[in-house]
Amino acid sequence: AGWSRTPKSVAGVECFAGEEGLRPFLARTDILVVLLPLTPDTRGILDQKLFSTLARDGALGGPVVINAGRGGLQHEADLLTALDDGTLIGASLDVFGEEPLPAASPFWDHPKVMLTPHAAASSEASVLARTILKQIEAFERGEPLRNLVDRERAY
């Protein structure tokens, strides 16, 4: 299943959309993979309220959060509380509100946390260069550009 701000249709995937679709999506989700952009609407979205709505009847015996999106999505104090009180049974975190993660952060030694070095997506320079070159060529020909930031959506 997947959740998005706007309705999507993907063959073989149950899709949920918008504010009205978020809670039903979370209620059946025990492994939450978060790849959201950081916008005013998503800042702090990963909080105690959200964690408490995740499914608890999955194969792992409780919910897990994987955040490879943006550090500002997670309310880190709530995340630690949810891990400590059993609301979450684990978290895999690639991003944090402050990076690099301070040496004194409790995430470093937390037994229910797996840390990765903000490397969830690696980019190949030659692929990036080809993509940039195609954009420049399209611009010079007066053609529409691809993958533009929508300033209204903030991503």
What single string gives the DSSP state of each residue in 120-148? Answer: SS---HHHHHHHHHHHHHHHHTTPPPSS-
Tokens of 18: 């918008």
- In the prediction, which pLDDT does 86 show? 97
Phi, psi of 106 (to 5 degrees): -65, -15
Instruction: Give the separation between CA 93 and CA 118, rounded to whole angstroms.
Output: 8
- In the prediction, which pLDDT does 13 show? 93
pLDDT (tens digit per residue) in 90-147: 999 999 999 999 999 999 999 999 999 988 777 889 989 999 999 999 999 999 999 9
Instruction: Give the separation between CA 99 and CA 53, rounded to whole angstroms.
Output: 28
Q: How confident is the model at residue 5 (pLDDT cuts 50, 70, 90)?
A: confident
pLDDT (tens digit per residue) in 53-103: 999 999 999 999 999 999 999 999 999 999 999 999 999 999 999 999 999
CA neighbours within 13 Å on the CB side: how many for 154?
9
Catalytic choice (70, 110, 151, 153) = 70
- In the prediction, which pLDDT does 120 show? 75
Told to judge if 70 belongs to the known catalytic residues of this protein, a careful annotator would answer yes
Catalytic choice (43, 110, 118, 130) = 118
- In the prediction, which pLDDT does 123 show? 81
pLDDT (tens digit per residue) in 32-47: 999 999 999 999 999 9
- Is residue 153 pLDDT above 90, yes or no? no
Measure Cα distances from 81 to 48, 90, 100 in Å: 8, 12, 22
Instruction: Give the separation between CA 38 and CA 77, rounded to whole angstroms.
Output: 18
SS3 content of the chain, % helix, strand, coil (to 5): 30, 15, 55
Told to judge if 110 belongs to the known catalytic residues of this protein, a careful annotator would answer no
